[in-house]
A = this chain, B = another copy of it.
């Protein structure tokens, strides 16, 4: 078989590509104790749209990619501009590009991040509210689908990485760590089994300190920095 490689002709293809715009959006999760409940929930900030399309609906924080900024920089900038949040680490999640996801043709490069509850600034930001990820209203565009995919990635990743660390203070009790897992996975974990598994994993180091309060004192642990966090591979080495 011999076949001529049909390389795109510049004129037609470039004209078509010019009608496509690139945006970035960010799904940023934290945990929050639900009011009037003993449980915690995975929550994320959404921004109320102030113009069409979908004026009045809630949407992921984001904006257009500038011609002179990288994808990562655009994600950080638009997240800060819309919500005031500045997580230390954003990871690319997926590029969403269905033809009909917006009235005009938009490819959205979506990032995701975790932020510790104590890193969320106090006070409110205009047009921004935090929502329980498991009970979202109808969002703008395909943003319900995007959040669903980000939640799946979070649940998946918590199983084989230290990603729960991104939601905890430097020192924590085993009950606090288990609550992070239970909230993300959406199911109860047996305390004795959980203790056995994390003690066996070598990822935790017990400290000499204890959390005291209304319950009996609970030992504080910290993560063993010698054990690799989830490896992002060669992209980690990029400037």
Contacts and interface: CB of A to CB of B under 8 A. Distances in A.
Contact of A109 (B95, B156, B160): B95
A10 B148 CA distance: 28
Interface string A216-239: 000000000000000101110010
A3 B80 CA distance: 10
B63 A126 contact: no
A13 interface: yes
A51 interface: yes
A109 B50 CA distance: 30
A90 interface: no
B23 A17 contact: yes
B67 A3 contact: no
Copies in the complex: 2
Contacts of A192: none
A2 interface: yes
A4 interface: yes
A83 interface: yes
Contacts of A18: 18, 21
Interface residues of A, number: 66
B98 A95 contact: no
Contacts of A1: 84, 121-125
A145 interface: yes
Interface string A119-142: 001111111100000000000000
Interface in A25-53: 47, 49-51
A107 to B, nearest CB: 5
Closest 7 pairs between A and B when the two form their complex, measured CB to CB: A1-B123, A152-B233, A71-B97, A13-B64, A17-B21, A6-B81, A8-B63
Interface of A: 1-8, 10, 13-14, 16-23, 47, 49-51, 63-71, 78, 81-84, 92, 94-95, 97-99, 105, 107, 109, 121-128, 145, 148-149, 152-153, 156, 160, 231, 233-235, 238
